[in-house]
Amino acid sequence: MVKGKLINDGGEGYIYEVPGSPHLLVKEFKEADSSGSPIVTEELVKKLKYMCDNPPEALVARGEVAWPSELIYDEAGKLKGFYMPRLDFHEHINRAYSYVHPLHDEEGYKLVPSINSKISIAINLCSAINELHRKGYVVGDLNHHNIGVNYNTGKICIMDCDSFHITDNFGIIYRTNVIMAGYLAPEIIDHCKVERAVGRPHTLDVVRLPTFTKESDLFCLAVHIFKLLMNGVDPFRGIKSDAIGSTASPFLGNEAIERDSYVFKPGNKPSALFCPPAESLPPEILSLFNRVFIDGRFNPGYRPGIENWYHVLSNVLHNHLTQCFSNPKHQYYYGLKKCPYCEADIRYDPGSEPHGSPDPPEPPVKTSRLKRILLPIGITILALTLFIILYNLPPIPLTPGTSPDPQPSQPTTQIIETPHTIVQPESITITLNNEYISEMELDMYERLTLHAYIDPINTDAEIIWENSNPSILHIIVQENGREAIIRGVGTGGAAITVKANNVKKVIGINVVTAITPREFIISNSDTHLLSESEIMHLSNAELVIARNEIYARHGMIFGSKALSEWFEAQSWYIPIYAMADFDYNRLSDIENKNVGTLLSLRNKRNNGEHPYTGTGAYDVFFFQTFWDSSSRYIHEYEIADMSTALETALHEIYARNGRIFNNPRWREYYKSFTWYEQQIPDHLWNDNILNSFELANVELLRHFIAMHPNLETEY
């Protein structure tokens, strides 16, 4: 390990320059952390090896991520550290959004980015996180110390990558063990709280998975965007609306998140006087913040996707900002009469004038009639010229001695195609397909949101959402008419016709890809007595899920891996009672009858009655022990405690490849699934049809089945 000047002394190791290599840094791990536990573990070594083999190439090429590039070992073969690229940035992102009053610290204010630049920083942060998510990585601890900003270009730099929450190609998870206070998503706080209440391990390094997800990254992303637009105010530094003065919030960090101190929550207000009001934000952006911090508090799937943030921020940056005449660093939403950032400065210090405020007007003087006519015209032309010049000025460079990028307000990267822009037509058709979301997401999830942007925004505007594809079950139009929730999207996409009346133009249609898993198959099965006709549209998998969600409401812990994973993904589910200890008397009379109705229809279908004719999208994932065993290796630890499920795991590999079983048990079992296609008679079957993953998994499963004499392998 070649070490130069010490750059940083962190909790897990030291960062050094590399002599002779100005574009490299080296991280040397410490022997132990503050608690005495060793830093370098077998898990860390595997994690870093996987990262070196699977870098996010685009971000590495652009110099936006401090990704491990080469591991370093001592003579005994022990991991000592790794090399990584040295990133070009000026400050951590919190310096970009920290509030500075223009008259209280004039030198410090020179380093404050303009609002244009802050929005560009937000757009580029979306781009970087999107690329990491596209590669399958979850950041986890997405705090401000792990994000750097180049003020000249707006480029984002992501650091501390070895702390990422990573799932490798074999499904092994390498955890994010810690996170800075103020960035822990509420669902993780609640999860740890429940685990603690039932006496299970509850710290992030040992609590039951899942913990960090792409949705928890979306929470942190929104926190940073909020701070960039709101003068550095934390979104959870709220106080009660009747509180007086710029008082400190009674709750800070994760406690403020847990207590739901969102500043724009009804009944709350910002604790800082320099925070612009909610009305200062473009409606589209305020809507996204509320969906993260209000709607998405208990259902992370409601949080807007990165693409949504990217589109809305780009649209606002290029189309919806006007230049403040008092302060060249202030740009604000064109629907406002006054600059909210200047008003925030005055509110913070009532005795100060806005930075650069023009002098009071001179007393009127008598002029000739011709002058009285020409003077207003000349002033109007001058004002328009000044507006155009100021509006098109690039943000002021924030590093002395450097030149601004020719177009610093433009994002340095693009992640999504330009939103659909319609200049004149009053109706358009947009198709949901793999351009926006994958087929697997369409199959696994069920909620999409579309948002129509119109100009001008007026109360007479009418947006009509029409269902032009029967694969969509229904469309729920929100109160404002411009947002629609699409439920029950089927495989192959779905067409939506959007008509706009009483508007000059439709600026665009955004597709929100923050798709949430279905919370309930039947949300009222605990209070409403079901009839068979009401559930006939459900697939075989949905019948099973709907029946077991009745038990899940009462805290049953399921023996089935598929059921456990399904319900543990639901925000309302709290596992309390093992199946052997579950008291079935907890069920009401209605619930017991509904269990019988759901089970009856499932049995009828097994006997060939009322066959299901839909796509059965959930079946392919839900009714297989390992639905992905054709694309990954099964590990011994995953099946060590299985018995009868071993048989199903083996036979589903053959069924997936169209084998027609001689054994009537398996033949009739798989015939009930819509995904099973009988293609190859048993006497013509050859295992060479299987791919390398399947062959390895078949061999492993046969080995474990042989350890259970009571199990059968007859096909």
**Segments making up each domain of the chain, as ranges:** 1-86, 427-512, 532-622, 636-705
Q: CA-CA distance, 621 to 533, in Å (whole number)?
A: 25
The three-state secondary structure class of 301 is helix
Full-model pTM: 0.54
Spatial CB neighbours of 538, under 8 Å, sequence gap ≥ 6: 521, 546, 601, 612
Q: Which of 317, 329, 330, 319 is nearest to 410 (CA)?
A: 317
Spatial CB neighbours of 318, under 8 Å, sequence gap ≥ 6: none
Do 306 and 415 meet the contact criterion of CB atoms below 8 Å apart? yes
Res 369: pLDDT = 46
List, in sequence order, every residue forming a beta bridge with 72; answer none if it has no partner. 81
HEC string for 211-245: CCCHHHHHHHHHHHHHHHHCCCCCCCCEEECCCCC
Q: CA-CA distance, 36 to 429, in Å (whole number)?
A: 61
Q: What is the token pair recorded at 601?
A: 């229809």
Tokens 């992501």 sit on residue: 158
Q: CA-CA distance, 310 to 218, in Å (whole number)?
A: 12
Spatial CB neighbours of 304, under 8 Å, sequence gap ≥ 6: 218, 288, 291, 292, 512, 514
Do 126 and 205 meet the contact criterion of CB atoms below 8 Å apart? no
Tokens 């049809």 sit on residue: 689
Do 147 and 93 meet the contact criterion of CB atoms below 8 Å apart? yes
Q: Is the four-CA dihedral 434, 438, 443, 449 of positive or negative sign?
A: negative
Res 490: pLDDT = 45
Do 174 and 47 meet the contact criterion of CB atoms below 8 Å apart? yes
Q: CA-CA distance, 354 to 346, in Å (whole number)?
A: 7
Q: CA-CA distance, 289 to 225, in Å (whole number)?
A: 9
Q: Which of 647, 614, 487, 477 is nearest to 542 (CA)?
A: 614
For 79-88, write each residue's pLDDT tens digit. 999 999 999 8
Res 174: pLDDT = 92
Q: CA-CA distance, 392 to 407, in Å (whole number)?
A: 10
Q: CA-CA distance, 409 to 419, in Å (whole number)?
A: 18
Domain topology for 1-86: Phosphorylase Kinase; domain 1 (3.30.200)
For 261-317, write each residue's pLDDT tens digit. 999 999 999 988 899 999 999 988 999 999 999 988 877 888 888 988 988 898 888
Q: CA-CA distance, 50 to 239, in Å (whole number)?
A: 45
List, in sequence order, every residue forming a beta bridge with 466; answer none if it has no partner. 497
Q: Which of 591, 654, 697 is nearest to 171 (CA)?
A: 697
Low-confidence stretches of the chain (pLDDT beneath 50): 246-248, 354-373, 375, 386-428, 430-448, 455-459, 473, 488-494, 507-508, 510-517, 615-617, 620-621
The domain 532-622 having CATH identifier 1.20.58.1690: the answer here is: yes
Do 223 and 253 meet the contact criterion of CB atoms below 8 Å apart? no
Res 630: pLDDT = 74
Tokens 């077991």 sit on residue: 548
564: left (phi over 0), alpha (psi -120 to 50) or beta: alpha
Do 181 and 253 meet the contact criterion of CB atoms below 8 Å apart? yes
Q: CA-CA distance, 3 to 414, in Å (whole number)?
A: 36
Spatial CB neighbours of 378, under 8 Å, sequence gap ≥ 6: none
